[in-house]
Amino acid sequence: MEFNASAANLLNIKVDSLILLTGSQLQNTAKLLDDSLNGAIQALIKSGDFSGKLATSCILHTQGKASKRIILIGTDGAATTQKMIKVMESAASLLRKTPSQKALWIGDSFNDDHEWQASIMARSVQTSSYKYNGSSKPSKPNKLKSVTYWCAKKSQTVSAAKGLVYGNAVGNGMNTARGLADLPANFCTPNYLASQAKKLSKGQAKVTTNILKEADMKALGMGSLLSVSAGSVEPGNLIVMSYQGAPKTAKPVVLVGKAVTFDTGGISLKGGRGMDEMKFDMCGGASVFGVISALIDTQLPINVVGIVPAVENMPAGNATKPGDVVTSMSGQTIEVLNTDAEGRLILCDALTYAARFKPDTVIDIATLTGAVIGALGKVTAGLLSNDDELAGQLLSGGTLSGDRAWRLPLWEEYDKQLKSNFADMANIGGEAGTITAACFLARFTRDYKWAHLDIAGTAWHSGPAKGATGRPVPMLMEYLRTKASS
């Protein structure tokens, strides 16, 4: 996909589709276009064929004009960042449904922040192109080849072009994460993820990949992580991808992504209904792949280490049993009261391992608890952190990117629920499962700034539109971009 910015005379730019985001009151470029069409847009509004209300749409076919069709998307009521993004995503989706190969996107719909608008546009166009094809029939190729973001002033094209590069990269990163997460678990095994990490870094001067096998992890004392993979014929892997965009002396941001490639619950077996969706229990790890992909495209001047503990959680004669006690890499012992609370068991050893990189910040991403869906639904991720500034930065990045999070507390009263009579801690508490899960992880992150993102509600859609979302790649990239520029 080719993206570019232009301030040329829009009435002379020949394209298959022109995308105009406008309300019922035509202003600026919308009025100019309407005048060139002898009031055709205003006529659609008066007739009721186009209301201008939020994300409503209409296609106007022109006669002999430079643009063969004008795609109208309503903006009335787009008073928040989230609603602006909704409008642009609707426009990108409708554009994809037309036979257009070249499109022109009018970029003066909301505000003067052309870098932001162009980035969301490019991201939306890229993510709308995503297709998972598991059938024997080849998928139809995307017709759309190029989109030009139009600015009223030439001076605005510089920031717009910058936004296009960034948005394109984030969109590609989201699609990378979705492509891995949508794969069935008989294809996407821990070994497969390791091979994809090597493939991602191949030929990339700024990215190196190291894979720790089970023997390596055993030597490091990762008894907690290995207790999860014990019942599976698929060996676990600890995948480490390092992106160096800044001098080696700069402390890295470490991203730790949970990748349980299939989660049966182990001996604490899950119910059969909806268990097929447990292939998505590796979406945290997939998002780390997506971020590394986006970093390669953007070349951000920052150091990032992506750690992905990849395992399969299966019941077997040698699987970990409820009541077993395991020793983590940190030396702390854990009573495994529920083998379906396995994500925290692999994350705790990965978080201990993260300390060897002397990190500036550590963020873990995990489809960790069903409780977060009960608390927040499928709208926003749960955020818990031991650092107020870090939490604020992630929340701000989530708002700006439309990939939001909501902060929950990490109080001592919750941590007390992890008490065990037979080990340093139990792997589950009582009430407030999302919070007690984070309290468990917090016991392994006391030496650095850390945040936890529980994405169990946002990482994938169920039902007819079943599939991974690519979240929270936008939030993480916004955080990294801001940090790289500070």
So which residues are the catalytic ones?
A: 270, 344
Helix (H) or strand (E) holding 73: strand 67-74
- The helix or strand, by DSSP H or E, that contains position 452, with its residue range, turns out to be strand 450-454
Q: How far apart are the first and last CA of the chain?
A: 30
| Distant-in-sequence, close-in-space partners of 48: CB < 8 Å, separation ≥ 6 | none
The residues near 273 (Cβ < 8 Å, ≥ 6 apart) are: none
Cα–Cα distance for residue pair 157/177, rounded to 1 Å:
30
Helix, strand, or coil (residue 384): strand
Cα–Cα dist 230/247, whole Å: 39
d(Cα 64, Cα 68) in Å, to the nearest integer?
7
Residue found by looking up tokens 């989201």 in the block: 174
Contact 50/72 with Cβ under 8 angstroms?
yes
Query: CB neighbours (10 Å) of residue 214?
Result: 18
Tell me the pairing of strands 146-150 and 2-6: parallel
Q: DSSP labels for 147-213? A: EEEE-SSGGGHHHHHHHHHHHHHHHHHHHHHHHHHHS-TTTS-HHHHHHHHHHHHTT-TTEEEEEE-
299 with 206: CB under 8 angstroms? yes
Residue 341 per-residue DSSP state = -
